[in-house]
Structures are given as structure tokens and as C-alpha cells.
């Protein structure tokens, strides 16, 4: 029988052990975090105050920005603290809480992306019924499902994480508490946690991605039937930002969670995790605003109003 040890805290290795790089990383990721907060909170405020941004597409986008703020805030502050700290520890309870919110927010985000794809399908393939079928009440119900489901599934997954046992190695080769590196250092309860992590991730990624792919397949068919070149261009332009976001988010998560945790995969996953925990939440407001005429007009009007008040 292995010699199980009671855990009170873990040591987070972080992005690097090299002291000379830690201050540089702190400055870089502090700037990235500030830009993420300003961009996403700014997007939420802009959508709430702009009359031209009251369609379902922007309602869902505001929730995507809200989740991105929570997603980044769940990981980045502790990472910044440890970059300047000598101890670089996280309590056992704090680790479980971080795991819970991380898993919950990942599920919420993938299903919000699926809902946004369905919304684009309804807008392009059923434009005459769009207003009645995608009413505010329907949108509220659609956006409620990812939150309820995500936080419920995460509770079950975190209980399986709680079922892991450790035998003296409390060093997590990561900058936050993630399932793959925790499984790697555990000495008991590993098989059920590893199996359920891959199965649950596989089912949810497959189901949500299927909604996205089916929606866009039907959209492509509908757009190709359009006689107007301007109509086709406008339809594709409204989907381009969402497809970019889907490709980045799903690609990095599949690389991280649909593999068995090994020393090599954990080390690679740490680099990939930087992308989806810090970079993608920062890029989303830019992706959805730089190529969006409505958002750019709303920003211009907001700036004009602010200047008039002065």
C-alpha cells in the first residue's frame, strides 16, 4: 500500500524556475491582464449602453466577455503573486476552488460559443423568423443553460479531484491548479480521475463543437444559395470573428485535455495554457470589434458623446 500523506498546500512551479525571467513575466502578464479586464469590461458596458448593440448576437457576446473576465481572474492574480513570491504555494482548499471555477468556466465558454453559432444560424438561415424565435426570453433561457450545466459538471469533476491521494510529492508543474499535473503527482485515485477527465472533456467538446459545425454547415449552404454577392459577404463577415475564436479556444483545450497526462504533455500543456488563460481572453474583444462595423460605430458614438459632455 502506498504511504498516503495529508495535503495542506501545493507548490506551484510556475512558468519558469529562472529568477531573471520572473520579473519580466510579471510585467508582461500584468499588462496582459489589465488589457483583458479593460477590453472585456469595456465591451460589456458598450453593449449595455448602445442601442444598436441590443441584438441577441451582442447579448451573447457580453456574456462571453463576462466569462473571459472570470476565467482570466481565476488564474492570473495567483500567477502574478507567485512570480514575485519566494514560496509559490497554494493551499489545498485554494487549489480545489481554482480547479472548480476553471472547469466550470471552460464548460460555460464552450457552450456559449455553441449558442453563438446557433444564433448565427438563426439570423442567416431564418431571417424572417429571427426576431420572434430569438426573443429576449429565449436568449435568457439559452444563456442560462451553459452556466447551470457548467457549474454542475464542475462540482462532480472537482469531487473526483478531491478523491486523489498524494504520497509526499506536492510540486505541481504548472502555474495554476490543473487536472493533468495533479494527476501526474497523485499516487491514488488516479485511474478514475484520468478516465473521467478524458471522457467528460471528450463528450462536452464533441457535443458543443458538433453544434458549431452543424450550424456553420447549414450557414454555408444558405450563403451559397444567395444571389447577392454583398449578401454573401455580409453573412460571412458576421461569422468570421466567431470562427476565429472557436478555432483558438477549442484547439488549445483539445490539445490540453484529450491526452493522457505525461511529463512531456504536462510541460507542453503549460505553454498552451498560457494562450487560453491569458491571451485568448485579451484577444476576444479585439477579434469581435476590429472586424465589426456595428461595434466600431458604437465606439465612435460613445467617444463623441463623451467629448460633448466635456
Cα separation, 135 vs 246, whole angstroms: 24
How confident is the model at residue 3, as a pLDDT? 53
Which of 158-172, 220-234, 257-271 reaches the highest mean pLDDT?
Answer: 158-172
C-alpha cell at 156: 462532480
66 or 292, higher pLDDT: 66
Residue among 126, 110, 122, 118 nearest 142 (CA): 118
Rounded CA-CA distance 198/210 in Å is 17
- The pLDDT assigned to 1 comes to 46
Q: What average pLDDT does the structure give for the chain? A: 86
CA gap 161, 73 in Å, rounded: 21
The C-alpha cell 441584438 sits at 55
Domains and CATH numbers, the chain: 9-292 (1.20.1070.10)
Give the C-alpha separation, 188 to 242, whole Å: 41
Helices (H) and strands (E) in the chain, counts: 11, 5
pLDDT digits (tens, 9 = 90+) for 29-46: 999 999 999 999 999 999
Predicted confidence at residue 254, as pLDDT, reads 73
Highest-confidence range of 101-110, 118-127, 188-197, 246-255, by mean pLDDT? 101-110
Identify the band that residue 266 occupies on the pLDDT scale cut at 50, 70 and 90.
low
What mean pLDDT comes out for the span 8-20? 84
> Is 24 a residue whose pLDDT tops 70?
yes
Cα–Cα distances (Å) from 73 to 37, 216, 281, 298, 302, in that order, read: 9, 31, 10, 27, 27
Amino acid at each position: 500500500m502506498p504511504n498516503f500523506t495529508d495535503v495542506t498546500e501545493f507548490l506551484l512551479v510556475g512558468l519558469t524556475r529562472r529568477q531573471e525571467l520572473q520579473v519580466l513575466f510579471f510585467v508582461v502578464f500584468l499588462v496582459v491582464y489589465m488589457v483583458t479586464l479593460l477590453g472585456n469590461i469595456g465591451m460589456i458596458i458598450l453593449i449595455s449602453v448602445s442601442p444598436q448593440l441590443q441584438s441577441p448576437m451582442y447579448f451573447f457576446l457580453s456574456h462571453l466577455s463576462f466569462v473571459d473576465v472570470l476565467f482570466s481572474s481565476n488564474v492570473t492574480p495567483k500567477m502574478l503573486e507567485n512570480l514575485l513570491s519566494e514560496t509559490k504555494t497554494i493551499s489545498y482548499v485554494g487549489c480545489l476552488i481554482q480547479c472548480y471555477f476553471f472547469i466550470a468556466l471552460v464548460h460555460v465558454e464552450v457552450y456559449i460559443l455553441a449558442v453563438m453559432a446557433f444564433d448565427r444560424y438563426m439570423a442567416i438561415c431564418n431571417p424572417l423568423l429571427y426576431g420572434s424565435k430569438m426573443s429576449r426570453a429565449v436568449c435568457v433561457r439559452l444563456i442560462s443553460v451553459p452556466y447551470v450545466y457548467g457549474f454542475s459538471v464542475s462540482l462532480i469533476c472537482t469531487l473526483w479531484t478531491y478523491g486523489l491521494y498524494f504520497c509526499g510529492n506536492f510540486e505541481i508543474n504548472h502555474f495554476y491548479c490543473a487536472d493533468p499535473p495533479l494527476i501526474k503527482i497523485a499516487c491514488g485515485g488516479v485511474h478514475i480521475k484520468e478516465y473521467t477527465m478524458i471522457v467528460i472533456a471528450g463528450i462536452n467538446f464533441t457535443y458543443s463543437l458538433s453544434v458549431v459545425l452543424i450550424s456553420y454547415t447549414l450557414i454555408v449552404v444558405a450563403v451559397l444559395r444567395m444571389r447577392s454577392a454583398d449578401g454573401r459577404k455580409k453573412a460571412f463577415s458576421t461569422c468570421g470573428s466567431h470562427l476565429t475564436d472557436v478555432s483558438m479556444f477549442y484547439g488549445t483545450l483539445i490539445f490540453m485535455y484529450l491526452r493522457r497526462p505525461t511529463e512531456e504533455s504536462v510541460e507542453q500543456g503549460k505553454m498552451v495554457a498560457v494562450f487560453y488563460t491569458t491571451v485568448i481572453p485579451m484577444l476576444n474583444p479585439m477579434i469581435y470589434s476590429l472586424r465589426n462595423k456595428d461595434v466600431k460605430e458604437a465606439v465612435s458614438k460613445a467617444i463623441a458623446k463623451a467629448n460633448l459632455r466635456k
